Amino acid sequence: MADMPPASTRYAKGMQTRRAVLGDAHVDRAQAGQSAFDQPFQELITESAWGTVWAGETWTRRERSMVTIALLAALGHDDEVAMHIRATANTGATPEDIREALMHVAIYAGVPAANHAIKIAKATYAEMEAARAAGEDDEKHPA
């Protein structure tokens, strides 16, 4: 997009964090699909979610990953749950961590939300394992 303003420092930090968590392939797909319509939104999430919240120094990426998945599951954002399950390969959150987070979802946000998120997590982990076994890139699934 030729008319884009120069990136802010927060945007640059956000893009670095976003790539570290989600992987280059995912971010490259998102960038390639960007249009003039959603470009301001992409800037917003890159600066705020990735350049501020995910780039913070108080929590580790593992901790942020667990909390993010729990919140997404509680709110029923299924595609985002799967995307962030895939990102655990980069954040250090283990399947056991995610299971515990989803147990909290069951108690505090409801069993149906947790049950559905557990199904998504199981399927996503199975896809990731199959990709590893086949020697494929885990980032092949768009979110």
pTM assigned to the model: 0.87
The pLDDT value recorded for residue 141 is: 45
- By C-alpha distance, which of 48, 51, 45 is closest to 16? 51
CB atoms within 10 A of CB 35: 8
Rg (CA), the chain: 16
Residue type present at position 60: T
* Nearest-angstrom CA–CA distance, 138 and 129: 8
- Token look-up 């249009």 returns 35
| Mean pLDDT within 7-18 | 93
- Band (pLDDT 50/70/90 cuts) for residue 143 is very low
Say if residues 72 and 84 touch (Cβ distance below 8 Å). yes
69 pLDDT more than 80: yes
Superfamily for 60-143?
AhpD-like (1.20.1290.10)
Query: Tens digit of pLDDT for each residue in 114-132?
Result: 999 999 999 999 999 999 9
Which DSSP letter does residue 7 get? P
Q: Which two tokens stand for residue 77?
A: 């954002």
Quick one: what percent of the chain has pLDDT higher than 90?
88
Distances (CA, A) of 88 to 7, 61, 67, 121: 27, 9, 12, 11
H/E/C letters for each residue in 53-87?
Answer: HCCCCCCCHHHHHHHHHHHHHHHCCHHHHHHHHHH
Query: Tens digit of pLDDT for each residue in 75-93?
Result: 999 999 999 999 999 999 9
39 pLDDT more than 50: yes
The pLDDT value recorded for residue 142 is: 40
6 pLDDT more than 70: no
Q: Where in the chain is the domain with CATH 1.20.1290.10?
A: 60-143
The pLDDT value recorded for residue 137 is: 63
